[in-house]
Every structure is written in C-alpha cells, then in structure tokens.
Structure 1
Amino acid sequence: MILYIAEKPSLGRAIADVLPKPLKKHDGYLEAANGDCVSWCVGHLLEQAEPDAYDAAYKSWKLEHLPIVPEQWQLKPKANTRSQLSVLKKLLGQAQQLVHAGDPDREGQLLVDEVLSYLKVSSAKLANAQRLLINDLNPSAVKKALSQLRSNREFIPLSTSALARSRADWLYGMNMTRAFTLQGRKVGYQGVLSVGRVQTPVLGLVVRRDEEIAAFQAKPFYEVLAHLADNASDAETLFSAKWQPSEACQQWQDDEGRVLAKGLAENVARRISNQPAKVLSVDEQQKRQAAPLPYNLSALQIDCNKRFGMSAKEVLDTAQSLYERHKLLTYPRSDSRHLPLAQFSDAPKVLAAISQGAVELLAGAEAPNPSLKSKAWDDSKVDAHHAIIPTEKVANLAVLSNRERQVYLQAARQYLAQFYPSYLYWDTRVTIDIAGGHFKASSKREQQAGWKQLFRTKEQDNEQDDDEACGLLPKLTVGQLLRCLRGEVVEKTTQPPKHFTDATLLAAMTGISRYVTDKEIRKILKDTDGLGTEATRAGIIELLFKRGFLQRQGKAILATDAGKGLIHSLPLSATLPDMTAQWESRLDAICQKELNYQAFMQPLLQSITQLVSEACQQLPTALAGVKAQKPAFRKKSYRSKAGMASKAGAAKARTARTSATKTGSTKTGTTKASTSKTTGRKSRAQSN
C-alpha cells in the first residue's frame, strides 16, 4: 500500500480525487480502489515542548533559570489533533511506500518529516520515501505532479533548515521574552514583553520611522524653470526646462542637491528671463520595458494593499481560498516570481480560461500571444514552487467574494502580461544653455503599448508610470537657438518620510538590505529573501497588532507607547534587521547544502547567552509608566435584524469552511509561560 501524507485535508482530497475510484472514506484518511491511502496532517500535529517539560521548575519565570537550553529537544502531540496522529501511526505501520505531500516550502517539508521521525518510521521506509510537489489542486495538475515524484531525501536540507529555524526561534523568543518581561515588572510594566527574531526588528523599523517623522523639520527649497520658445517668434512656451545648479552653488544646497537659498534662485530666474538659449545636447533613445514578472506572495500583497487597501493577512487568506476552495490559483505561499519551462506548454489552456472567465481584463486590448516566452520562464529560478498564477479552471467571478475577485483578477492580469510584447518608447533628454547656466528637460513618447494595454485604467497607469515624465518635447537639434521667455522660481517644501502601510512594511521586510548600515552585510542580504518568509510576514505584522505594539490610523501603521518602550529597552542588535537577516541568510545556506545544523546553532547559542546576560543586568526604564496595551478590536457593526438575517447563512457557511483549517492553531505567548510555546502551522509566525 502506498500512503500519501498531505499537509492538510484539502490537499489530501485533491490527491485522492485522481486515484482509482471508488474511494472509501475512513476516519482521517481516504482509501483508493487499489488499496492506496491518502491521509493528512492538520497543520503541525506536533509542537515544541514547553520549558517545564524539561524541568518542572521552569513553570515559574525566574531570571536565574535563563538561558534555558534543552539538551535533548522534545516534541509533543498537540491535544486537539492527537487523534489524527494516531491515524497516521496506524497507516504508517501498514504502508510499504511513503509519499510526502507537504506544501512545497521548508515548513511544509518539516511538517511531515517531523511526524515520520516522531512515529519512528523505519530507516528502510524513510530511504525509499518519495516527495510529491503540488502547486495546483486541479486534477490535471495533480496527475502531472504524481508523474514527477522525487526522492524525499533530496529535501533533507530544506527540513533541516526549518528545524533549525524552529529551535532557534524557541530559544531566542522564549529566553528574551522571559528576561525582558521579568525586568519590565521591576519598572511597573505588567504586560508580556514579547521578543522575537523577526517581529522585534519589524517593530524597530516602525518605531524609527515614527520618530524620524516626529523629529522632521520642513524646510523650503527652490527650483528654477526656464520657459522656452522658438527663437524665431514670440510664440507661447514650447516646453520648460529645470535649472541644474553648478558646483559653485553647493554651499547653498542640502545633501540631496536642493537649493535652499531663495535669493540665489530668484537671481537665476532674473538672469535667464528674455535671454537667448542654445541646445547643447539631444539624447534620444528607443527603450523597452519588459512585462512585470508574475507574483510571489509578497508582491501580490503589496499590489493588493496599494490598489484595494487589503492587509497582508487578508491577501494571504484570500489567495489561500482561491487555491484550496476554488482551485483558481496555484500555491500562494510562493517566494518565486518565475515559472518552469515545462509549464510553458500549458499556457494556451490557462490563457483560454482567463479569456473566458475574466473577459474584462482583455477589454480594449489585443489578444495575448501564447507563443511569446517572457523572462518569467526560467528553470534556474524555480525549485519547489513557482510564481502564483491562475490555473486552467475557468473562473465564475459571480460566485467569488469581492476580495476573491480582486485578488484573482490581479494575479490573472500579471500572468496575461507575459504574453504581450515589451512596452517600447522613445526617451528624450536635452540640455540647454541659458546665460551660462545649464537646464535640462526630458520626455517619454510611447511607440508600442505592448503589455501596458492591460494596465490602462487611471489607477493602473499611476502604478506603472510613476517614473515617467509628463509632456512631450518638440523636435530639437544640437546648436538650435531658442529663447527663454521667462524664468520662474518654484518654491517647494521638504517632506517627511511617510508612515508605513501594509504595502511599504512588506516591501521593507523583503528589501531589508536597504535598512542595514553594514556594507558587507548589506551585500549579503541583497541575495536573500529578507525578514521572515513569504508565508510568515503577514502573520508577523498581525501579531504585533495583537500584542498591542502597533496600531492603525487609516492605512498608516504606527507604534504604540508600549512598542516604542520595548524597542528603547532592548539592546540595539535585537531591534535591527542585521541579526535576523543574517539568520535567514544562514538558514538559506542550509537549504543550499552550504552550511550544516551545528554551524548555525553553535554561534546562535553563544549570542543568546550574551543577550540574556545583558538583559538581566539593566532595567527597561523606557517602559516606566507605560501601561500594557490591549489589542485593538474592530468596532461591532450594528445592522438591522433583516440585514443580519440575510447574512446569517453565509456567515455560518464561512465558519464551517474555516473550522477545519483552524483546528491546528493555538494561542501563543501572550500570558505567563505560554509565551514560549511554539504553535501550529497557521500561527508559526508568532514565534518569530
């Protein structure tokens, strides 16, 4: 008997649906007509044991216990899914062949592997176990995946990386949280001061941005525009060019080259008014812009927040529903924006499904060309999972919720763009001499719309063309004489940085190297995935809200007093992205077989020991007088009874649908010793 172990019931059902019929339903598994069985986990069936499992004394939080470092790591069955673990134990004893069908990421790899290890599966069975990688739950895609099984041993580094991350997060989060919570009580702060290797640097980003905005002092600066016309007539302005201050003006400029002296700008404007002008250079180049790559999760979350105001978690949950329930999108927790060449032959079917189910995307645009192969198709940039794209299933938009419809159309448009030619345009830049000063102007003129046909709404144009200059330049030649009709001083004011939103905070987490001061570390981090993973970033942001460290003001994300106090109480290294980003770099090195488990854990243990020692020697005075924050809840919406009744059925259905996936979730570190728990798959970001 072959036993397929999926990560969750929905994936298990998708696998069973392509096995020989009829299927027999049993408690916790499905049996095919040929005797093969499909069972599943429900998120993590196992969790890290709490500190008191190693020593009963650890149930009480005391500084003298720290740091707590298990000599022999222990996992324990989660109480609410213990029965499913028993089902797997029975089936594993009967199976001759095992197929690991966890989600195609490092956490999905560990989730099943740790069950096999915990249940002491024989080494012979483990050696022959195979790996099934499924990105699309539609039957044709599942059948194709079943024909491409790989040895599960290939993915041992992926599992080892996830295991190292899990244990490191437990050690760091549990020890640091206990240390600072206990010290916080000494200054009167009565809440739990949760510290994590990802959540805390993310909070630090927000705190520092808020303080930069609070300390910002607006300053006026000045630009000079020359309004130019043909020298042969007194015609109206043909175009305007902006003054480029010379080196002699540096003493009146700020670090960004902006002129701060109004008198200087006014003097330039006077000098150039009604003066001859000469074209010094004309640089006109044809440029092309390739279609934007298909989405990974972070890119999808960023665009959906910008366009629809959706939170990161809302986008993830919606994409997960489109993947599991509707089977309209491929695996959503992907960190790749590329596609395997083997899937290029499926493009006509996917395009046909989009054309039939999402007609509005093609309104006013030419038909996509399925023979075009964009730079998205690249095997070297795809491993366990590929970019998020629509499946071959035709969408019925009428049955989707508004959010599901928005996310599906967003992903579908991005996929369609791969089958249009590049956007071509003429980029023109000119330099003008007026009274010895240099002025520049530029314009972009479209030659071929290409993929931009799909992004022609005003909103989409704003997103795609932020960097494009407005207006067109007349035909100019080097040496041509013009006349400056007048100079104009334009007064502007320096602007503070903007508060983070879901979109910009996600972008900061993925492009974390921009916030690292050390040049060597920044160089390393440019090649990593940043803070957290695609699957955990949304949960990390939400966790900071739940713990009362962040708050929302409209779309803006701000730190609370408790959040600020925590960051100012911690050692600087714990609040910066440097350390945790280096972790991610080293965890990725384990995945790539460039580093082993011990090489990661040993220096980590030394670092945690030092940090805990420092924490015990100083008080978090920044939290003195700060009250523990309660998480913000949405205001209750009081609808009419009729309105509530009309939605009762839908709410009941949603509750039923989500109850299975929530089975694996548990509360995490918000009170006393529960802070140190490692939780189920859905809430694993909370240990970060």
Structure 2
Amino acid sequence: MRLIIAEKPSLGRAIADVLPRPHKKQDGYVETASGDVVTWCIGHLLEQVEPENYDPAYKQWRFEHLPIVPQQWQLQPRKNTRSQLSVIRKLLKTADTIVHAGDPDREGQLLVDEVLDYLKLSQARKKNVRRLLVNDLNGSAVKKALARMQSNSDYVPLSVSALARSRADWLYGINLTRAYTVLGKKAGYGGLLSVGRVQTPVLGLVVRRDEEIANFQPKPYFEVFALLVTDQGECFKAKWQPSEACQPWMDDEGRVLDRRLAENVVSRVQGKQGEISKLDKKPGKETPPLPYSLSVLQIDAARQLRLSAKEVLDVCQKLYEQKLVTYPRSDCRYLPVEHFREAPEVLGAIRSNDEHLANAVDGALPDRKSKAWNDSKVGAHHAIIPTTRRADLYKMGDRERKLYGLIARQYVAQFYPDHKFSAQKVSIIIEGGLFTASSRTVMEEGWKAVFPRKPSSPEKEDSQRLPEMTKGQALLCKEAELAEKQTQPPKSFTDATLLSAMTGIARYVKDSEIRKVLKETDGLGTEATRAGIIELLFNRKYLARQGKNIHATETGKALIKALPEPVSQPDMTARWEASLNQIVEKKGSYQSFMSQLEQQLTQLLLEAGQSGTINVQGLPPVSASRFKKKTRRKKAPRRAS
C-alpha cells in the first residue's frame, strides 16, 4: 500500500481526485481503487512543549532559571488534532511506500517530517520516503507531480532550516518574554511583556518611524532652474547641480540650505549664454516585471487594492483551493521552463475568466519567452500564476476577482515585447555652473500597454521633451527661477511599505558589515509568516491604522521603550534569516546556527540581568490576577516570532 501524506485536506482531496476510482472515504483518509491511501495533516499536528514539561520548576517564572535550553527537544500533539495523528500512526504500520506531500516550502517540509519522526518511523523506511511537490491543485498538474517524485532525503536541508527556525523562535520567545516580564514585575508592571524574534523588530520599525515623523523639523531648501532657449526658439528647463564648493551650505542629501547661495546663482546666469558640454542620447528598454512571489503580490495588492497582508494571503489561499492559481506561499518569481508549454492554455483560461484582460490576452505573443522561465532560479516552488482552470469569477467575491486580475495581468505581461524608449540627457555650463536636463521618449509601449497608465506628474524633470541639440551648441538662459521647498518627514508605514521593509530589511540594519552580507531578498520572517506577524501586532493592540497609514499605539511605543535597543532592532534576526537560508543552500549547519544563537541569547540575558530593571512607564496597567490566571494553566502564555 502506498500512503500519501498531504499537508492539508484540500491538497489531499486534489491528490485523491487523480487516482483510480472508486474511492472509499474514511475518517481522516481516502482509499483508492489502486490501493493507494491518501491522508493528511491539518496544518501542524505537533507543537513544542512548554518549559515546565522539561522541568516542573520552570512553571514559576524566575530570572535565575534562564536561559532555558532543552537538551532533548520534545513535541506534543495539538489537542484538536490528536485523532488525525492516530489515523496516520495506524496507516503507517501497513504502508509499503510513504509519500511526503507537504506544501513546497520549508515549513511544509518540516510539518510532515516531524510527524514521521514523532511516530518513530525507522531510519530504513525514512530513506525510502518519496517527496511529492504540488504547486497547482488542478488534476493535470497533480498528475505531473506524481510522475516526477523525488527522494525525500533530497530535501533534508529544507527541513533542518525550518527546524532551526522553529527552535530558535521558541528559545528566543520563551527566554526573553520571561526575562522582561520578570523585570517588568520588579518595576511594578503586572502584565506580560511579549518578545518575539520577528514581531518585536517589526514593531520597533514602526515606533522609530513614528518618532522620526513626530520629531521632524522641516527646513527650507533651494533649487535653481534655468529656462533655456535654442536659436530656433525651442525652450526647455534645466536644473542647477551644485558643485563640491557648495557643500558647506548643503545637507547630507545634497540640498542647498542657503538662500543667498541660490540667489547668487540666479543673478549670475540670468540672461547669459550657456554651452552644451555633454549630450547623451541612447536607446533603453525595460523587460516585463516578473510574475509574483507572495510578498510582492501583497505589496502590490496593498497599493492598488488596499488589502492587508493577511487579506491577500487568505484570498490567495482561497483561489488556490479553487484551483485558479498556483501555490500562494511562494518566495520565488520564476517559472520552470517546462511550464512554458502550458502558456496557450493558461492564457486561454485568463481570457475566459477575466473579461477585463481579454484584449491584453489577444495582443499577447504566446511564443515569446521572457526571462521568467528559468529553471536555475526555481526551487521547491515557482512564482504565483493563474492555472488552466476556467471558472465564473463573478460568482466569487470582489476581492477574489481583483486579486486574480493582478496575478493574471502579471502573467500576461510575460508575452509582450520589452518597453523601449530613447533617453536623452544634456549638461549645460552657464557662467561656470552646471545645469542638467533629461527626457525620455517612448519608442514602443510593449508590456506597459497591459497595465493601467499612471498619471504623470508635471513636476518630473523628464516630463518635458528636449529639442534636438548638439554638443558645443550655444543656448540662452532667458530666465532663471529660484524654487523654495521644504524638507519632508519620512512617510508613515502602510501595509505595502511595511511589507517592503520586512522583505528588504537590509535598509534598516545598523551594522554596515551585516548590511554588506544581506541580500535584498533576505528579510524578517518568511513569505508564509509575515502577514501573521503584522496581524499579531494589530491583535495585541501594539499597532493601529489611521486610514491607510500604520502607527504604533501608546502601548506599542511603551513596550519598545521598555526593552533594550538590540531586542527591537532587526540586525540580529536579519542575520538569522541569512543563516537559515544558508542551511537550505547547504552552506551552513544546524549546529553552527544553534550554537551562535545560544551565545547571543546568553549575552542578551546577561545584559538584562545586569540592568536589574526596565522602564515600564507608559505601559497600560494590567491586573496581576489576569496574569496569574494565565500562569496557573498547564501551558504558559504563547509567544510568537
């Protein structure tokens, strides 16, 4: 008997649907006519035990117990999934072949692997476990996946990375939450101070941004523009570029802060002749934007559809379960080359499903292969794209239709030519000062024809069209203009920009050495967890929305103020994410990662203990009885990453 263990019932049903009938539906599994049996987990069937399971003394929260580091890690069944675990236990006993069909990511890999370990599957049988990777729940895709299964042992690094992350989150959350809750109690605060590896740095990002905005002092700065005229009477504007000699009167961003300096430039160039010192004119092109990963989809959906990260994930999961899009928790933006053969069928489904994209599909070139098809950049899963399934989207909700439209449009763009343009930049010397102007003329719209045209801003320097000119040509500065502007505070975080900050966390890392190591794709959390982390901060009343902007609440601000700065900075957890990715790529090890983590944790606890207390001013009062009620339970308060 071949036993296939899926991550979720929906995936289990999709696999069973392509296996020989008739089927016998049993409690927690499906028997097929071929003798195959399909069962499933219900998300995680197992969870980490609480500290008191390792030592009853840990039931009392005491600083001297820390750090709590299990010597032999233990898992326990979740209360509401015990029966399903029993089903899998029973089926394993009679299975000849076992197929791991967890979701195609590191969490999905660990989820089934840990069940097999917990149920004490022998090493000999583990070596023969097969791995089924399903990115698309449509029957044809599932059949293809069944035909190309691999050895599950090939995915050990993925599982080890997820295991390291899970244990790191437990160690960090348990120890630091207990440490600062105990210190808070000493300082007179009776509530729980929840600290998480990811949630606390994310909250810190928002708190610090709010502080920058509140403390921002606007300053005037000055720009000079020259209205230049050719011999043929053609006019255009050029902007003054201050020289190094002007630096004493400029800020770090190169803006002139001294009005007298700008006024002097105006008076010097007004009515004077200038000469073109440099002229660059060259063709350019933009390739179609790659299909979506989850984070990029969440960012675009937040900007265009005003959906939160969690809403995008929930809607995308619904589309996936209805077989309209591929696996949603993907961190990849590329597609396998073999998928290119399905392009005409996928395009046909898009045309049928979304009337707004009918013209775009009609104009597509199905034989055109963009750079999105690249096997070397596809791991366990590929980019999120529509499937070949046709359905009546008008029977679905507005959010489902619009999100499907975003995903579909990004796919259709792959079959359009590059956007081509001619870029021109001119440098003019007037009385020793450098002025520049640029323009960009569209030569071929290409893939941009698929996307709604954005209104152009008249203030953009390249919104004008430059006349034909030659190097050395003389120009008259007919008029010089002084423009006074105000420096602007940083913008408040929105769903889109907070997600962008989490995925590109290197921009917010203080340590320059760490910043050099981190890639733009490294970030806080994973594709599957970022939405949950943001939602957790809202649920705990640490964050709140004002229109589309996200701000820290007074509670959130007070919590970050109460904690030492390293705990709320992204540096350490960004380093962790890079190390976890190295484990997946076989460039790092579990032992090295956990050893470094324990050293860092010990140092953080040492610093916390030396301080002896924390600043709890501003934290809302919490009754001691409420806190004690939680500690009397068998399980201590949960902490999240």
Q: Secondary structure at the match of 2:572?
A: helix
1:61-80 aligned within 5 A: 61-80=61-80
Contact 2:558 2:618 survives alignment (8 Å): no
Do the aligned partners of 2:630 and 2:637 also contact (CA within 8 Å) in 1? no
| Deviation at residue 363 of structure 1 after TM alignment | 3.6
| d(CA) in 1 for partners of 2:318, 2:637 | 25
92-101 vs 121-130, which moves further: 121-130
The structure-2 alpha-carbon separation of the partners of 1:604 and 1:466, relative to structure 1 and needing over 3 Å to count, comes to farther
Aligned to 1:159: 159
Q: CA deviation at 1:275?
A: 2.2
Shift of 1:398: 0.5
Q: CA deviation at 1:670?
A: 11
Q: Given the superposition, is the C-alpha separation of residues 510 and 117 from structure 1 closer, same or farther in structure 2, using an over 3 Å criterion?
A: same
Query: 2:141 — aligned with what?
Result: 141
- Distance change in 2, residues 1:266/1:6 (3 Å): same
Equivalent residue number for residue 343 of structure 2: 347
Q: Which amino acid aligns with 2:176?
A: M
User: Is the 1:358–1:395 Cα contact (8 Å) retained in structure 2?
Assistant: no
Distance of 2:425 and 2:611 partners within structure 1 = 59
Cα deviation digits, residues 58-77 of structure 1 (max 9, x gap): 22222222221212111111
**1:284 and 2:281 are equivalent in the alignment:** yes
- Does 2:546 match 1:549? no
**Residue equivalent to 2:372:** 376
Aligned residues of 1:102 and 1:112 also touching (Cα < 8 A): yes
Which position in structure 1 is the counterpart of 2:81? 81
**Is 1:197–2:190 an aligned residue pair?**
no
User: Is the 1:174–1:676 contact (alpha carbons within 8 Å) kept by the matching residues of 2?
Assistant: no
Cα displacement string for residues 11-30 of structure 1 (whole angstroms, at most 9, x for unaligned residues):
00000000001111100001
- Tell me if the contact between 1:170 and 1:678 (Cα under 8 Å) persists in the aligned partners: no
Could you tell me which residue of structure 2 aligns to residue 294 of structure 1?
A: 291
In the alignment, does 2:601 pair up with 1:687?
no
State how far apart, in whole Å, the 1-side matches of 2:42 and 2:460 are: 46
Aligned residue among 311, 314, 323 for 1:314: 311
- Give the stretch that moved more between structures: 137-146 or 47-56: 47-56
**In structure 2, what is the Cα distance between the partners aligned to 1:116 and 1:396?**
40
Distance 2:140 2:204 in 1: 46
> Any idea what the Cα deviations from partners look like across 1:70-103, whole Å, max 9, x if unmatched?
1211111111111101111111111110000000
- Native 8 Å contact 1:48 1:677 kept in 2: no
CA gap of 1:32–1:365, structure 2 versus 1, over 3 A, is closer
Structure 1: where are the runs of 5+ without partners?
A: 631-668, 680-685
Structure 1 position 347, deviation (Å): 1.1
Q: Secondary structure at the match of 1:469?
A: helix
CA distance in 2, matches of 1:456, 1:110: 41
* Partners of 1:480 and 1:366 in 2: CA distance: 47
Distance 2:179 2:534 in 1: 23
Q: Does 1:571 align with 2:564?
A: yes
Deviates more, 1:93-102 or 1:62-71: 62-71
The answer as to whether partners of 2:334 and 2:372 remain within 8 angstroms in 1 is: yes
2:428 paired residue number: 432
- Give me the CA root mean square deviation: 2.2
Q: C-alpha distance in 2, partners of 1:321/1:674? A: 35
Indicate the SS of the match to 2:25: strand
User: Cα distance 1:676–1:523, how it changes in 2: closer, same or farther (>3 A)?
Assistant: farther
Structure-2 change in CA distance of 1:146 and 1:629 (3 Å):
farther
* Counterpart AA for 2:381: H
Shift of 1:195: 0.7
Pairing 1:672-683 to 2, within 5 Å after superposition: 672=631
Aligned AA (1:264): L
> 1:522 aligned to 502, 508, 515, which one?
515
Aligned-pair CA distance for 1:687: 2.4
Indicate the larger mover: 607-616 or 124-133.
607-616
Show the counterpart of 2:243. 246
Q: Which amino acid aligns with 1:299?
A: V
Q: CA deviation at 1:226?
A: 0.8
1:259–1:584 distance in 2 versus 1, CA, 3 Å: same
**Could you tell me which residue of structure 2 aligns to residue 402 of structure 1?**
398
Contact 2:554 2:618 in 1 (8 A): no
Deviations 1:125-162 (A, max 9, x none): 21111000000000010001101100001111111111
2:206 alignment partner in structure 1: 206
CA contact (8 A) 1:192 1:671 kept: no
Q: Give the equivalent residue in structure 1 for 2:6.
A: 6
* Residues 275 and 321 (structure 1), Cα distance of their counterparts in 2 relative to 1, 3 Å cut: same
5 Å-filtered alignment, 1:259-658, equals 259-324=256-321, 326-363=322-359, 367-458=363-454, 469-526=462-519, 529-627=522-620
Which residue in the other structure is 1:218 paired with?
A: 218
Alpha-carbon distance, 1:628 to partner:
5.2
Which secondary structure state, in structure 2, belongs to the residue aligned with residue 427 of structure 1? Answer: strand
Q: In the alignment, residue 455 of structure 1 is paired with which amino acid?
A: F
Contact 1:365 / 1:453 at 8 angstroms: preserved in 2? no
| Shift of residue 171, structure 1, vs aligned partner | 0.9
Counterpart contact for 2:505–2:520, Cα < 8 Å: no
Q: Which amino acid aligns with 2:340?
A: F
Deviations 1:530-580 (A, max 9, x none): 111000011111111222222221111112233223223323322221111
Letter in 2 for 1:36: D
Q: Give CA-to-partner distance per residue, 1:269-310, whole Å, 9 cap, x none.
A: 222222223222221110010111111000000000011111
The alpha carbon displacement at 1:366 in A equals: 5.8
Q: CA deviation at 1:629?
A: 8.7
The one-letter code sitting in structure 2 at the alignment partner of 1:101 is: A
**1:589 offset after TM fit, Å?**
1.6
1:255 partner letter:
D
CA distance in 2, matches of 1:8, 1:164: 23
Shift of 1:619: 4.8
Residues 584-623 of structure 1 show CA distances to partners (whole Å, capped at 9, x for unaligned) of 1111122122222222112211221222232233255432
Q: Rate the CA distance shift 1:395–1:490 in 2: closer, same or farther, 3 A.
A: farther
Unmatched 5+ stretches in structure 2: none
Is the CA contact 1:444–1:468 (under 8 Å) kept in the aligned structure 2? no
Displacement after TM superposition at 1:514 (Å): 1.2
CA contact (8 A) 1:286 1:424 kept: yes
Report the alpha carbon displacement of residue 228 of structure 1 after superposing the two structures with TM. 1.8
How many pairs were matched up? 637
Using structure 2 for the length normalisation, give the TM-score.
0.95
Deviations 1:328-359 (A, max 9, x none): 11000000011111111111111111122223
